[in-house]
Amino acid sequence: MAVTVIRNATLHVTSEEFVDVSAFAISDRKIVPFSPSLLEDGTAEEIDFQGLHVAPGLIDLLINGCNGVSFAQTPTVETLEHMRRYLTLKGVTTFVPTIISGPRENLSNAISAVSDFMNKHPTVCPGVHLEGPFISTNFKGFHPSGYIRPFSEADMEFIKEARENIAYMTIAPEVVKPKNIVDLISCKVRLSLGHTACSYFEAVQSFKAGITNVTHLFNGMAPAIGREPGVVGATFHSDRVFASVIADGRHVHPALVKLAKKILGNRMYIVSDSQSVTGMSKTPQTFVAGGTEIFVDQKRGLIDSKGSYAGTSINMLDGIKFLINQCDFSLDEALIAASYAPAKALGLDDFGCIETGNIADLIVFDDDLKIQYVIQNGFVKSIAELM
C-alpha cells in the first residue's frame, strides 16, 4: 500500500479533524490523518511543502472548452484530453464538459466521448452537462434557435439510456412537462433550471419536484422584480437549492455575487463557462462554438452577432481571484465556492474537502495563487512535470 506523507502544509477547506493541522497522508489514493505508524516500514514517501497552501482540487461544472478546443464544436475524446491537460495546470481536477443545443448527432457523439473519457479518468469527469435543447427561446443566450425544442418521449428514452454519462441537464420547466421532470428525477437524472422564462411559482414547483440546482444564476433568466421574483427569487427563497454564478465580473455584478453568497452561503458556487479562447497565447478576434460565430469584444467579453453573452475566457483560478478582489470573499470562502460547494451541488461526496477517506485530489499553491503541485487521485505532480 503506497503512502505519501505531506508535511508543513497550510490546509484549507477541511473537516474539523484537519483544522490547525500541518501534516497529513495519502494512503491508497485517499486522504488520511498523519500517524507515525505510517513510517514504520520505511516505504512511505515524505514531501515537505514548506508552508505552501493545500486545498481541494477545483471543480468546474460548466466548461465549453479551453486552450484552443471547443467540446460543443468537436465532441471527441481527444478534445477532452486536450482540455484536461490545460485544466490540470490551472488546478481543476474535476470538470464537466458542456454540450449546448445542437444536432442529435452532436449530442450522441458527446455522450459517447464522455463515456470513453470517464472510463479512462474516473475521478476527473462525472459526466456531461446537457445545456439544452429543452430551454426557452426567450432566454436562449447564444444557443442556435433552430435546435431548441420541447421534450418528447423519444428524448426520455434517449436520456434514460445515457443517464450514467450525464452529470446534469439544464432545462426550462415550461418546456419540459412536470410529469417528465418527475420521471427524469426518478431515473436519477440530475436537473438544473436555466435558460428559462418560468415564473416564481413554476420554479418553486420544480424545486418541490426535486430539482436542486440553478444554472448560472442571474443569466439566462428574467430578473427578479417586485411582482414576479422569478427563478432568482425562488432560488433565494429555497433552503436546499444550489446555484452557480459565472465568476468573470462581466456576467454578474460583484454586488449580486455578494448578495447570493449572503443568502445561499455554501450553496452558491462558481463556474468558468469558459470557451476555447481560454488559455490561448494569442486570442483570435472571432471563433466558432456550437456552430455559432463568437466575437471577442475587449469591453464586453465574448458575444454573438446579436450581442448575447457567449461564455468567458477565464479559468477557475481567475474566478477565485474575482471573488477575493471584487466580492470581499476570504481565501477560504473563495476556495469553498470553487471546490466544496460544486462537489455538494453534484453529489460528489468524496471530493471538495480535505477529509479522511476523500479522494486525494488537491492543489498546492503559493501566496500569489500560483499552482506549484497538483495531487490527482493520490499522485503528486509538480507543475514542471505536468507541463
Question: Catalytic residue numbers?
Answer: 273
Identify whether the C-beta of residue 94 lies closer than 8 Å to the C-beta of residue 351.
yes
The helix/strand/coil state of 213 is strand
Strands (E), 57-177: 58-63, 65-66, 69-70, 92-100, 128-131, 166-171
Q: Under 8 Å CB-to-CB from 83, ≥6 apart: which residues?
A: 63, 65, 66, 67, 69, 71, 95, 97
The Cα–Cα gap between 103 and 304 comes to 19
Burial of 353 by CB count in 10 Å (0-12 exposed, 13-18 middle, 19+ buried)?
buried
By C-alpha distance, which of 351, 263, 286, 358 is closest to 58? 351
Identify whether the C-beta of residue 189 lies closer than 8 Å to the C-beta of residue 159.
yes
Q: Under 8 Å CB-to-CB from 144, ≥6 apart: which residues?
A: 101, 102, 290, 291, 292
Identify whether the C-beta of residue 288 lies closer than 8 Å to the C-beta of residue 73.
yes
Contacts for 235-240 with beta carbons within 8 Å, 24 or more apart? 235/203, 235/264, 236/260, 236/263, 236/264, 237/204, 238/204, 238/207, 240/207, 240/212, 240/267
Burial of 254 by CB count in 10 Å (0-12 exposed, 13-18 middle, 19+ buried)?
middle
